[in-house]
């Protein structure tokens, strides 16, 4: 894949496909990690004299403008991070976009409105998607792909547009791919994987692939209760995917056969109801029980102290760690201790540590950890997982052409 250094960008209109899909609350950005991650690529293009056109999606609007998903707050924050004015086009390929791009001088930056306000961006039909890519191509001379969090999507700005313009990868994608190769091709052992999050079904592919690569797989989060149920334990009203129990049993057997150790929670923090993660209202019936003693009317919401110690011991000698998914409801202080403990264990180890994007990356920031102390914090949870599953990512394939 070509890099920015392979392009002559001075005076050229450079379309940067970024991933600025940041969380918003009442129009305010609650985590700007993805904006900060792509800022160095944009700054490099600015310094080289490019006319930079940044584009991204945000949320899941249904192919038409929706004010709650506007990128206007992102334009303001991007300008603050870059230390320069970032103009904002109120559409993507309409009159505002055309006028805003036409007004760019060398070294200036504009951000287009949400790509997904156009049905063509996510269309399944190749012709419809291609027609939208044609409109985007008219705005630019060169294309730089740097939205790692979107490269697993076959979308117009990710897959079709690079075929229409001279293209290269940005520094963020180049870094992400280099890190993922260290997790798949150049692994230093012991290799320990921590998987959390809600559902086993979201991690089926990655577990399947890791059974031939990892030395240990630590299971937490909502998905742990399907593992506990597969072992014959009562899980009460905890999150449970009964249809995945046969899959889990197969993985446990394959793990034994392949010498891969599965580490399942031995105690859990429980409550009769899901906690209020906005007001952080105290949970009065909170208690910790052994993992095989969950009452029928209670819900598991975090790993317990014995499991925190167990996980830390299984991470202590690791040389490579990949962590995807919080191991509890970290958004509420009562059930954040497990996720804190995993993050701290990563920092305490001598391993090359990779935090696999999404909620894991958000948890690291929200819980107050220093991002710089981890080996790498990915900007793409879904993209990272699909890469580790061994899938071909459409956005990367397009950039290789």
Residue 399 lies in a domain: no
Residue 180 lies in a domain: no
Asked if 259 is an active-site residue, the reply is no
pLDDT in tens, the chain (401 residues): 999 999 999 999 999 999 999 999 888 999 898 999 999 999 999 999 999 999 999 999 999 999 999 999 999 999 999 999 999 999 999 999 999 999 999 999 999 999 999 999 999 999 999 999 999 999 999 999 999 999 999 999 999 999 999 999 999 999 999 999 999 888 999 999 999 998 899 888 899 999 989 999 999 999 999 999 999 999 999 999 999 999 999 999 999 999 999 999 999 999 999 999 989 999 999 999 999 999 999 999 999 999 999 999 999 999 999 999 999 999 999 999 999 999 999 999 999 999 986 788 889 988 999 989 999 999 887 898 899 888 999 999 999 97
Name which of 328, 23, 44, 290 is nearest 168 in CA terms: 44
CA dihedral (177, 145, 147, 357) in degrees, to 10, reads 0
222 marked as binding residue: no
Kindly state the tokens that stand for 98. Answer: 């055309």
Does residue 170 share a domain with residue 219?
A: no
Residue 182 lies in a domain: no
Does residue 105 share a domain with residue 127?
A: yes
∠ Cα 186 190 192 (to 5°): 95
130 marked as binding residue: no
Does residue 373 share a domain with residue 248?
A: yes
> Which pLDDT does position 186 carry in this prediction?
81
Distance from C-alpha of 309 to C-alpha of 87, rounded to nearest angstrom: 50
Does residue 124 share a domain with residue 61?
A: yes
21 marked as binding residue: yes
116 marked as binding residue: yes
Identified catalytic residue from 196, 236, 382, 395:
382
Q: What is the CATH number of the domain that holds 203?
A: 3.40.50.1260
Asked if 199 is an active-site residue, the reply is yes
pTM: 0.89
Distance from C-alpha of 64 to C-alpha of 71, rounded to nearest angstrom: 14
Does residue 114 share a domain with residue 65?
A: yes
- 269, 287 contact by CB (below 8 A): yes
Number of domains making up the chain = 2
Does residue 132 share a domain with residue 221?
A: no
Distance from C-alpha of 362 to C-alpha of 376, rounded to nearest angstrom: 13
20 marked as binding residue: yes
Asked if 382 is an active-site residue, the reply is yes
Does residue 160 share a domain with residue 296?
A: no
Distance from C-alpha of 152 to C-alpha of 180, rounded to nearest angstrom: 14
Count of CB atoms within 10 A of residue 44's CB?
A: 17
Identified catalytic residue from 325, 358, 380, 395:
358
Residue range(s) defining the domain that contains residue 379: 187-388
Residue 393 lies in a domain: no
Asked if 365 is an active-site residue, the reply is no
- 236, 297 contact by CB (below 8 A): yes
Residue 169 lies in a domain: yes
Domain boundary among 114, 148, 174: 174
> Which pLDDT does position 242 carry in this prediction?
96
Identified catalytic residue from 34, 51, 216, 308:
34
58 marked as binding residue: yes
Count of CB atoms within 10 A of residue 8's CB?
A: 12
Give the DSSP letter string of 37-78.
HHHHHHHHHHHTT-EEEEE---S---SS--GGG-SHHHHHHH
Domain boundary among 148, 174, 200: 174
Does residue 201 share a domain with residue 132?
A: no
Does residue 148 share a domain with residue 229?
A: no
> Which pLDDT does position 311 carry in this prediction?
98
331 marked as binding residue: yes
Residue 318 lies in a domain: yes
Domain boundary among 174, 202, 219: 174
Distance from C-alpha of 229 to C-alpha of 236, rounded to nearest angstrom: 10
Identified catalytic residue from 98, 182, 199, 319:
199
Residue 395 lies in a domain: no
């Amino acid at each position: 894949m070509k890099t920015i250094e392979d392009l002559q960008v001075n005076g050229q209109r450079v379309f940067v496909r970024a991933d600025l899909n940041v969380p918003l609350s009442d129009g305010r950005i609650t985590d700007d990690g993805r904006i900060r991650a792509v800022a160095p690529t944009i700054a490099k293009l600015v310094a080289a004299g490019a006319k930079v056109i940044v584009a991204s999606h945000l949320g899941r609007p249904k192919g038409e403008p929706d004010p709650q998903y506007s990128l206007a707050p992102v334009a303001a924050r991007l300008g603050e991070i870059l230390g320069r004015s970032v103009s904002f086009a109120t559409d993507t390929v309409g009159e505002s976009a055309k006028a805003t791009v036409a007004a760019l001088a060398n070294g200036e930056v504009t951000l287009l409105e949400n790509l997904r306000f156009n049905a063509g961006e996510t269309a399944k039909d190749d012709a419809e998607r291609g027609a939208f890519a044609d409109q985007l191509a008219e705005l630019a001379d060169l294309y730089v792909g740097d939205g790692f969090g979107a490269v697993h999507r076959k979308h117009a700005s990710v897959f079709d547009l690079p075929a229409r313009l001279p293209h290269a990868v940005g520094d963020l994608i180049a870094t992400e791919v280099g890190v993922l190769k260290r997790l798949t091709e150049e692994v230093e052992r012991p290799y320990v994987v921590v998987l959390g999050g809600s559902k086993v079904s979201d991690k089926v592919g990655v577990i399947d692939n890791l059974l031939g690569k990892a030395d240990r797989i630590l299971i937490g989060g909502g998905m742990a209760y399907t593992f506990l149920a597969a072992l014959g334990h009562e899980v009460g009203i905890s999150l449970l995917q009964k249809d995945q129990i046969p899959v889990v049993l197969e993985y446990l057997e394959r793990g034994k056969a392949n010498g891969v150790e599965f580490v399942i929670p031995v105690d859990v923090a429980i409550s009769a109801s899901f906690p209020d993660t906005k007001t952080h209202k105290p949970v009065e019936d909170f208690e910790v029980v052994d993992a095989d003693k969950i009452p029928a009317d209670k819900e598991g919401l975090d790993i317990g102290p014995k499991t925190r110690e167990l996980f830390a011991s299984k991470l202590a000698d690791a040389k490579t760690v990949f962590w995807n998914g919080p191991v509890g409801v970290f958004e509420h202080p009562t059930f954040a201790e497990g996720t804190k403990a995993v993050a701290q264990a990563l920092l305490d180890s001598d391993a090359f540590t990779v935090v696999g994007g999404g909620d894991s990356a958000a948890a690291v920031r929200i819980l107050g950890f220093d991002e710089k102390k981890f080996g790498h914090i990915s900007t793409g949870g879904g993209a990272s997982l699909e890469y580790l599953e061994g899938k071909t990512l459409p956005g990367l394939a397009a950039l290789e052409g």
